[in-house]
Amino acid sequence: MRTKQTASCGFHPFHRTLTLFLASSSLCRAVLVNRIIDSQYGDLTTGFIPVYHSPQHAWDDQTCGECYIQPDPARAFDRTWMAATYYPDYGNLNFTLKFTGVAIWVFFILSNANNHGTITITNTQCNFTLDGKLAGNFSHEPDLSTYDLIYNATVFSKAGLANTSHELLVSVNDYPNTTFVNFDWAMYTIDVDPSTLTNTTSSSNGSATTSTSASRHTVTPLSKSSTIGIVVGSVLGAILAVIVLALFILCRRSGRSKVTKLETFDIDAPYPTPIGERPYKYTPVTLTSDNTIRLTSLITFTKGTDATTR
């Protein structure tokens, strides 16, 4: 009679991995998307327009022909900007940005030496207040050895925010000296469900021109981050799927390799004889008159010798 016992592979690690895979897959569905807030056109997705505050209407855009500091529209984001000069005697100067997301960056155009000489204010100082709390400040002293402007200068950045609505106040308040502020654009990152992503279309010719222009200028930051988010999510999902499949296959193979065979043999079956060897043999026994068994002779064979009798 022969019996076999098969060792099976436990499925607890597989279940845990599968659970992790499913959870991670749902997390990978979220996509980080960068969105733009232009200084003049605002947020093309939400429609928010930056709110500018200053005494005596100090803010001017790219159409200002009398302004001494004239950036190159081709190098400004979407060919627009909003600039103002702060004078301590005139009161506070600021603008407000609203967004929903996990990070934000603010970009200025900074000035250095100016053709009109030192009468032109080219230094920049400002504070940043995020959700009612001071979050940072920025200061730029002009390089008087060059007349080149600095474009896309990052004056403020903040990451690790909750994916909720935020308000950023950029201000020049109570500074003792005059200062020049030129806001070009801002970018924020929002965590969205891919199913909610849609292409933005415009209803008017002016809006359509704006959308096309913004798209042209933001190909690198927008598509790069969006693509990274989608690619990372897809790659992670694919890797986890491969890991789960590999673990399952290894588990199956491990189960097969751990098969334990317990064999029992019928005691009445002939004892297996190794090939090339003669088995041990016992001579018949003789039953005596007193009903006892007497072994008349025991003949054994050993490898390479003749039989011997004991």
Q: What is the pLDDT of residues 49-68, one digit of tens each?
A: 999 998 878 999 999 999 99
Stretch 285-297: mean pLDDT: 49
Residue 147 maps to a domain: yes
Q: How far apart are CA 112 and CA 121, in angstroms?
A: 9
Residue 243 maps to a domain: no
pLDDT band, very low/low/confident/very high, at 273 (cuts 50, 70, 90): very low
Residue 105 has pLDDT above 60, yes or no: yes
Please tell me whether residues 165 and 293 are part of one structural domain.
no
- Considering its fold, how many domains does the chain have in total? 2
Please tell me whether residues 278 and 187 are part of one structural domain.
no
Residue 118 maps to a domain: yes
Residue that is last in its domain, among 192, 209, 226: 192
Residue 188 maps to a domain: yes
pLDDT band, very low/low/confident/very high, at 42 (cuts 50, 70, 90): very high
Please tell me whether residues 306 and 186 are part of one structural domain.
no
What is the distance, to the nearest Å, from the Cα of residue 113 to the centroid of all Cα atoms in its chain?
Answer: 42
Q: Which of 27-36, 78-87, 111-120, 191-200 has the lowest mean pLDDT?
A: 191-200
Quick one: tokens of 15?
A: 């279940």
Its domain, for residue 42, covers 32-192
Residue that is last in its domain, among 192, 223, 239: 192
Of 30, 84, 27, nearest to 55 by C-alpha is: 84
Please tell me whether residues 36 and 181 are part of one structural domain.
yes
pLDDT band, very low/low/confident/very high, at 250 (cuts 50, 70, 90): confident
Residue 55: its pLDDT value, please? Answer: 82
Residue 159 sits at the vertex; the CA angle it makes with 153 and 183, to the nearest 5 degrees, is: 30
